[in-house]
Chain A
Amino acid sequence: MLSIEVNSLSKKFGKFLAVDNVSFNVNKGEVFGFLGANGAGKSTTIRMLCGILEPTSGDAKVGGFSVMNEPDKVKQKIGYMSQKFSLYNDLTVEENINFYGGVYGLFGEKLNERKKWVLKISDLKGKENLITASLPGGIKQRLALGTAVIHNPAIVFLDEPTSGVDPIARRQFWELINDISDRGTTVLVTTHYLEEAEFCNNIILINAGKLIAHGTPATLKKDYLKNKIIEIECDDPVSAMNILSKEPFVDDTSIFGNNIHLSVNEIYNSKTQISDSIKTNNKINIKRIDPIVPTLEDVFIHLLEKGK
């Protein structure tokens, strides 16, 4: 069953085409990753899907309602957590929950029940009277997510929810996302942490407003990346990369920390090709050359390079 259906959605700001004819579907209850560089059009797409930005052309059905014609009904179905911090820093934890609950029409017993749940997932039981500004980043983020889904929406949009949060808090946050999705809520999440994308059921990648890849993390690696990926560890990766990028058996090169990732084509047959090539500069000392399972990052670098 489809939760979101996007049909040829476009948004123009003046002459700038921010979102260019994007179509995709999201199944009910899945965690859907929405990837792309800053300025690729992720937030613009999400804001159109939330009914707060009118599309220039195309349409989308969110929870069964058209964002073009029934944005008010869409708003009843969704929760949204924006890129910016969305809680009132000068209110207490409980006052924030009461406010957002009230805004969604939750009062009395229903509100209390949901309040308990939000406090539980954000580890704030007994700390209802703390001023929100004083909470640590990870906790704030969980509280923000809790208030965004306080009304049990069918779909929740999370726009870069983990930016600026430490790795441990990020992992806890993703556990929470999985919990919410297990209860049947569809989660559409944008991120630029590619390791987070591995947790998603389905992913789309957009670049310059265009959709350039679509699939599960596994199929993306298989379908879009025919090449093998070789990881090389050596002393001077920048110089080594410059030498290797001129070789005919190499399609793409990229640096991951101290390592080089090479995307090699069918001309490639053995490690010696690489070591011979690097040795033309005798100052570089090779430590290791291994074929690896590609990461999503390899896939995206390949796709973005190809797109240029």
Chain B
Amino acid sequence: MRIILNIIIKEFLQLKRDPKLFGVIFIAPILQLILLGYAATMDVNTIHFSILDRDKTTTSRQFIEKFTKSGYFTEEANVNNYKEAENLIDKGKTILTLVIPKDFEKDINRKLTAKVQAIFDGSNGNETSIAAGYVQGIVASYSNKLLLDVQNKSEKKIQNLSTINPEIRIWYNPELKTRKFMVPSILGLLLMVITIILMSMAVVKEREIGTLEQVIVTPIKPIQLIIGKLVPFIIVGFIDIILVLSVMVFWFDIGIRGDFFFLLFSSLLFVLSTLGLGLLISTISKTQQQAMMVAQFAVMMPMIYLSGFTFPIENMPQIIQYITYLIPLRYFITILRSVILKGTGFVELLPQVGMLFFLGVVILTASILNFRKRLN
């Protein structure tokens, strides 16, 4: 026990001596969360568009106004022909051109179907489909308004048509802000990056400078050495979680609806597998650089892509969905989102907690066995 404590003290002393590393561990996560919290948003708020108005009437201007005043659309230019509109799209200045044909007003007044054309830049599919949704919404509400106007003006009352009007209520994130959805998962990401990188440096660094050999001729048992190395990083991980959670609560104003201690408990389970992976990387690598590359490209990048952080897992091909079952980050992100946004408790999340625990124990045990084997 005293021997383990001795190693832990040594690790913290070394951490203290390395101001750069200190910054990476405690300052970088806070800055990253703030930065990513603002950057990682898929909300489409400003759609730059151009207008090709061939009608040039009061009605067409009224119609355009519906767009510019909606708060989502920014008019970049009034163009005179398709060529100019295309040019703006090619330059990336706009993603949409709204074409109002001649006789727009006339058709409306004649009670005919008036047509407008919306040309989109489909290269960013996600943004485009959201923008197209907005366009449809605005057009629909404008047609409704026309209908009502006709109704009000006409002498004889038009019979009421029965319609179904859905009243949509969105729970947990009423404004559908992506930030609310992203920030809790970024927390998981940061915890993963810090713990994997720190741990993957831990053993290989000592091997490189030669102290590992010196330590293994001492009567220290491999398990004591590993615990002595793991505990400091678990502590560092917890300090980071608390720092990052504070930023989330006090800076982004995203409260934790669920149980704070349950969140910490699941973080501990998650850290078992990230530290296990870090230890594995550190054991098989010959140099710190190699460890860094393996950590980034072979471990962290696939973890991020397959965790549901960037792409929804439900949309992945079945075979890839099966692979995601092995990604600890997947379960941790689900837990983070559920506990923070929905206030979900332990019972509902038991499958995720169970998987995190299972993966953590398996990965860590395998890494420890591998480490002991390599030492001999």
Segment 6-25 of B: residues with Cβ below 8 Å from A: 6-7, 9-10, 13-14, 17-18
B348 smallest CB distance to A (angstroms): 46
Name B3's contact: one of A76, A88, A102 (CB within 8 Å).
Answer: A102
Q: Is A95's CB under 8 angstroms from B10's CB?
A: yes
Contact with B along A120-138 (1 / 0, CB 8 A): 0000000000010000000
CB of B219 closer than 8 Å to a CB of A = yes
Known pairs A76-B219, A103-B3; A90 contacts B213 (CB<8 A): no
Known pairs A90-B18, A91-B10; A75 contacts B210 (CB<8 A): no
CB of A104 closer than 8 Å to a CB of B = yes
Q: Is B216's CB under 8 angstroms from A52's CB?
A: yes
Segment 78-127 of A: residues with Cβ below 8 Å from B: 78, 80-91, 95, 98-100, 102-105, 107
A137 smallest CB distance to B (angstroms): 15
CB of A72 closer than 8 Å to a CB of B = yes
Main secondary structure of the interface of A (DSSP, over half): loop
Q: Chain B contacts of A91 at CB under 8 A?
A: 10, 13-14, 17
Q: Give how many A residues have a beta carbon under 8 Å from the other chain's beta carbons.
A: 31
Residue of B nearest to A54 (CB): B376
Q: Is B10's CB under 8 angstroms from A75's CB?
A: no
A114 to B3, CA, bound (A): 17
A75 to B375, CA, bound (A): 14
Residue of A nearest to B376 (CB): A54
Q: Is A90's CB under 8 angstroms from B14's CB?
A: yes
Residue of A nearest to B208 (CB): A84
Q: Is B219's CB under 8 angstroms from A72's CB?
A: yes
Q: Chain B contacts of A83 at CB under 8 A?
A: 210
B9 smallest CB distance to A (angstroms): 8
B213 smallest CB distance to A (angstroms): 5
CB of A51 closer than 8 Å to a CB of B = yes
Q: Is A103's CB under 8 angstroms from B218's CB?
A: yes
Known pairs A86-B210, A90-B17; A104 contacts B219 (CB<8 A): yes
Name B218's contact: one of A75, A85, A87, A90 (CB within 8 Å).
Answer: A75
CB of B217 closer than 8 Å to a CB of A = yes
Q: Is B210's CB under 8 angstroms from A85's CB?
A: yes
A133 smallest CB distance to B (angstroms): 10
Q: Chain B contacts of A148 at CB under 8 A?
A: 214
Q: Is A52's CB under 8 angstroms from B211's CB?
A: no
Q: Is A84's CB under 8 angstroms from B219's CB?
A: no
CB of A50 closer than 8 Å to a CB of B = yes
Residue of A nearest to B215 (CB): A103
CB of B2 closer than 8 Å to a CB of A = yes
B8 smallest CB distance to A (angstroms): 11
Q: Chain B contacts of A78 at CB under 8 A?
A: 217
A163 to B210, CA, bound (A): 15
Name B210's contact: one of A76, A82, A105, A107 (CB within 8 Å).
Answer: A82
Q: Is B219's CB under 8 angstroms from A95's CB?
A: no
CB of B31 closer than 8 Å to a CB of A = no
Question: What are 17 A-B residue pairs whose CB atoms fall within 8 Å in the complex?
Answer: A50-B217, A52-B216, A52-B376, A80-B214, A81-B214, A82-B213, A82-B214, A86-B214, A88-B211, A91-B14, A99-B7, A103-B3, A103-B219, A103-B220, A104-B218, A105-B2, A105-B219
Beyond the given pairs A95-B10, A99-B6, A100-B218, 18 more chain A to chain B contacts, judged by CB atoms under 8 angstroms and listed by A's residue number, are A51-B217, A52-B216, A52-B217, A75-B219, A80-B214, A80-B217, A82-B213, A84-B210, A85-B210, A86-B210, A86-B211, A88-B209, A90-B17, A98-B6, A102-B3, A103-B215, A107-B2, A148-B214
Interface residues, chain A, with chain B CB atoms under 8 Å away: 50-52, 54, 72, 75-76, 78, 80-91, 95, 98-100, 102-105, 107, 131, 148
